């Protein structure tokens, strides 16, 4: 860049000109397009070059009287950009010239040559992009480590495990499998001063994509995008790279966790990025789980005005009626006792009979075998490409459904095994986090309905609390319905 600028300055001096401004744009692509939303909401794809737009604005307004570039490919690689420059040259008579190409946009022959050269430069960029994409496909098939910043959990070579970060990742994956919310895990990481490889604190929006990456279990992944044709929005996610037989490509690095553990994590957090609900961290055990018996709105925990503990209140900020307030300590104690009794009863019955075998394993194996056989037929040219891709799409759809069902089954088995045998002791231990307790509650309880007391100031009555358990059918039938 320094040599090019020196040559340009020498040319300007030779023609008795003055350099008013230098536009250095070596860090911006003149070829790659980005999504742009027009004022009417239409989504288009354009080459975005802020300094280029600034230069055209200065040329149009007369801040500068002309432009000199080292070569035409330094000026534009997109025909639309070139036409914008030609328009200014034609209507404002301010020249744009190149040193090495010898073009001058003031002349018809110069514009003709520039249009041809820009078309050629655009084609060259497209060819380069195509070759780069093909190279990445080969690297993915080989299971290469990839380039870019060092991934968290691995050393600088991207292959060997980092001695301190890898155990942190293993711990996080265990916590996710145990049902601890992601936001609680993020707060814990940041509280300990653990940052990403670029020194930035963790966020839910960064930790979830990291945990979804199959690199954690030693499988090669690739980023793919699905474009919504109506909005132009692109949903990006990482998918597993598979070989011709349909098996995951094993990467050239040490895995941090096993494939089974990774599938459990993905099942817990989901395969797509989900928007947050906007709520802050919970400070009370049953905030958002307790509901007002009068209006049905969620109740919030808040300190009592007299400083004696806290209470659950139907909050007007949640559009509640504000008619019900109940002692939070007593509500927590009652619900906790009922919950632990139910959990202990279910675990005593379930652990002994838990079936670790997934019933559709043979069906999945048959589907994967069909995909491999179909691919072999396509390679042998005994089936047309159109027929191949139609059948492949159908089989891959079946495979995705079966894999999702297997992940869900595996996650359920692992969650049952991972839950402490003595839940009560774990719950009452000093180090038990509130997020873990809430995760257990949310596994078992839909809501705790707090009904109105008979009069203001009445003693706490547990009969006014109705716990709605998950997985239970409505056993009670109203007398009127029975009579009918």
| Rounded Cα distance, 288 and 299, in Å | 6
> Does residue 285 sit within a domain?
no
| Rounded Cα distance, 81 and 93, in Å | 18
Q: Does residue 321 share a domain with residue 227?
A: no
The pLDDT of residue 27 is 74
Q: Does residue 132 share a domain with residue 96?
A: yes
Domain C-terminal end among 140, 156, 181: 140
Query: pLDDT, tens digit, for every residue of 85-135?
Result: 999 999 999 988 888 766 788 888 888 988 998 899 889 888 888 898 888
| Rounded Cα distance, 72 and 105, in Å | 11
| Rounded Cα distance, 444 and 343, in Å | 8
Q: Does residue 219 share a domain with residue 84?
A: no
| Rounded Cα distance, 1 and 471, in Å | 68
> Does residue 151 sit within a domain?
no
Residue 477: pLDDT band with limits 50, 70, 90: very low
The pLDDT of residue 102 is 67
Hey, which residues does 326 pair with through a beta bridge?
312
The pLDDT of residue 289 is 93
Query: pLDDT, tens digit, for every residue of 402-419?
Result: 888 887 777 666 665 555
* CATH number where 200 lies: 3.90.1750.20
Q: Does residue 78 share a domain with residue 15?
A: yes
Give the strand pairing for 96-98 and 67-69. Answer: parallel
Give the strand pairing for 96-98 and 221-227. Answer: unpaired
Q: Does residue 441 share a domain with residue 315?
A: yes
Q: Does residue 236 share a domain with residue 323?
A: no
Q: Report how many domains make up the chain.
A: 4
> Does residue 443 sit within a domain?
yes
The pLDDT of residue 315 is 86
The pLDDT of residue 229 is 57
Query: pLDDT, tens digit, for every residue of 179-238?
Result: 788 888 998 999 999 999 999 999 988 999 999 999 999 999 888 776 665 555 666 778
CB atoms within 10 A of CB 364: 17
> Does residue 56 sit within a domain?
yes
Domain that holds residue 105: 2-140
pTM: 0.49
Q: Does residue 306 share a domain with residue 454?
A: yes
Please calculate the CA angle 314-319-323 and round it to the nearest 5 degrees: 35
| Rounded Cα distance, 9 and 4, in Å | 9
> Does residue 325 sit within a domain?
yes
3-state helix, strand, coil in the chain (%, to 5): 45, 15, 40
The pLDDT of residue 413 is 66
Domain C-terminal end among 209, 238, 269: 269
CA-derived radius of gyration, the chain: 32
| Rounded Cα distance, 311 and 479, in Å | 35
Q: Does residue 196 share a domain with residue 340?
A: no
Hey, which residues does 389 pair with through a beta bridge?
none
Give the strand pairing for 33-37 and 96-98. Answer: unpaired
Query: pLDDT, tens digit, for every residue of 440-465?
Result: 888 889 999 999 998 888 899 999 99
User: Do residues 11 and 68 lie in contact, with contact meaning Cβ atoms separated by under 8 Å?
Assistant: yes
Q: Does residue 318 share a domain with residue 453?
A: yes
User: Do residues 216 and 255 lie in contact, with contact meaning Cβ atoms separated by under 8 Å?
Assistant: yes
Q: Is 192 exposed, middle or buried (0-12, 13-18, 19+ CB in 10 A)?
A: exposed
Q: Does residue 14 share a domain with residue 92?
A: yes
- Among residues 344, 176, 148, which one has the least CA distance to residue 265? 176
Sequence length of the chain is 484
Mean of the per-residue pLDDT values for the chain? 83
| CA 239 distance to own-chain centroid | 12
> What are the b/e assignments for 328-348, b being 16+ CB within 10 Å?
bebbbeebbebbeeebeeebe
Q: Does residue 255 share a domain with residue 177?
A: yes
> Does residue 282 sit within a domain?
no
Backbone φ and ψ for 319, nearest 5 degrees, come out as 65, 25
The runs of H, that is alpha helices, within 380-447 are: 385-418, 423-428, 434-444
| Rounded Cα distance, 384 and 444, in Å | 52
User: Do residues 161 and 153 lie in contact, with contact meaning Cβ atoms separated by under 8 Å?
Assistant: yes
| Rounded Cα distance, 125 and 143, in Å | 27
> Does residue 330 sit within a domain?
yes
> Does residue 157 sit within a domain?
no
The pLDDT of residue 386 is 81
Residue 141: pLDDT band with limits 50, 70, 90: confident
pLDDT higher than threshold 90 for residue 307? no
Name the packing angle between helices 385-418 and 165-177 (round to 10°): 80
The DSSP call for residue 10 is H
Lookup: tokens for 196: 């990403």
Q: Does residue 405 share a domain with residue 335?
A: no
Q: What percent of the chain has pLDDT over 90?
A: 33
Backbone φ and ψ for 108, nearest 5 degrees, come out as -65, -45
Residues 6+ positions from 219 with CB-CB distance below 8 Å: 240, 241, 248, 249, 250, 251, 259, 262
């Amino acid at each position: 860049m320094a040599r090019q600028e020196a040559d340009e300055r020498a040319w300007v001096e030779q023609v008795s000109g003055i350099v008013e401004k230098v536009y250095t744009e070596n860090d911006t692509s003149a070829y790659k397009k980005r999504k742009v939303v027009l004022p009417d909401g239409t989504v288009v794809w354009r080459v975005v070059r802020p300094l280029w737009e600034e230069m055209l604005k200065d040329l149009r307004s007369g801040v500068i009287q002309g432009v000199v570039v080292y070569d035409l490919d330094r000026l534009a690689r997109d025909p639309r950009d070139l036409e914008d420059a030609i328009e200014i040259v034609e209507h404002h008579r301010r020249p744009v010239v190149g040193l090495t190409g010898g073009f001058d946009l003031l002349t018809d022959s110069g514009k003709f040559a520039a249009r041809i050269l820009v078309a050629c430069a655009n084609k060259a960029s497209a060819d380069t992009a195509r070759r780069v994409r093909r190279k990445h496909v080969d690297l993915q098939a080989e299971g290469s480590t990839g380039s870019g910043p060092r991934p968290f959990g691995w050393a600088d070579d991207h292959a060997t495990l980092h001695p301190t970060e890898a155990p942190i990742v293993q711990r996080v994956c265990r916590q996710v499998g145990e049902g601890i919310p992601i936001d609680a895990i993020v707060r814990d990481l940041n509280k300990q001063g653990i940052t990403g490889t670029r020194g930035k604190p963790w966020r839910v929006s960064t930790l979830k994509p990291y945990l979804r990456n199959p690199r954690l279990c030693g499988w090669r992944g690739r980023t793919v995008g699905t474009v919504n044709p109506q909005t132009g929005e692109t949903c990006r996610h990482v998918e597993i790279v598979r070989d011709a037989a349909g098996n995951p490509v094993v990467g050239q690095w040490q895995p941090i966790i096993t494939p089974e553990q990774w599938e459990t994590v993905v099942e817990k957090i989901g395969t797509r990025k989900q928007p947050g609900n906007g709520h802050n961290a919970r400070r009370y055990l049953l905030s958002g789980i307790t509901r007002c018996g009068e209006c049905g709105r969620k109740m919030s925990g808040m300190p009592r005005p007299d400083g004696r503990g806290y209470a659950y209140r139907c909050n007007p900020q949640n559009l509640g009626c504000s008619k019900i307030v109940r002692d939070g300590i007593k509500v927590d104690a009652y619900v906790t006792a009922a919950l632990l009794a139910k959990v202990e009863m279910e675990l005593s019955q379930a652990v002994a009979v838990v079936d670790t075998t997934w019933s559709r394993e043979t069906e999945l194996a048959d589907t994967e075998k069909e995909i491999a056989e179909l691919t072999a037929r396509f390679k042998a040219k005994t089936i047309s490409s159109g027929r191949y891709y139609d059948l492949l799409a159908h089989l891959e759809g079946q495979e995705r459904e079966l894999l999702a069902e297997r992940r869900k089954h595996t996650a359920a088995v692992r969650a049952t095994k991972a839950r402490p045998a003595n839940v009560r002791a774990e719950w009452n231990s000093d180090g038990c986090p509130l997020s873990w307790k809430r995760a257990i509650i949310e596994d078992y309880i839909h809501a705790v309905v707090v009904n109105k007391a008979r009069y203001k100031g009445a003693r706490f009555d547990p009969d006014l609390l109705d716990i709605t358990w998950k997985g239970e059918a409505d056993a009670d039938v109203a007398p009127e319905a029975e009579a009918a």
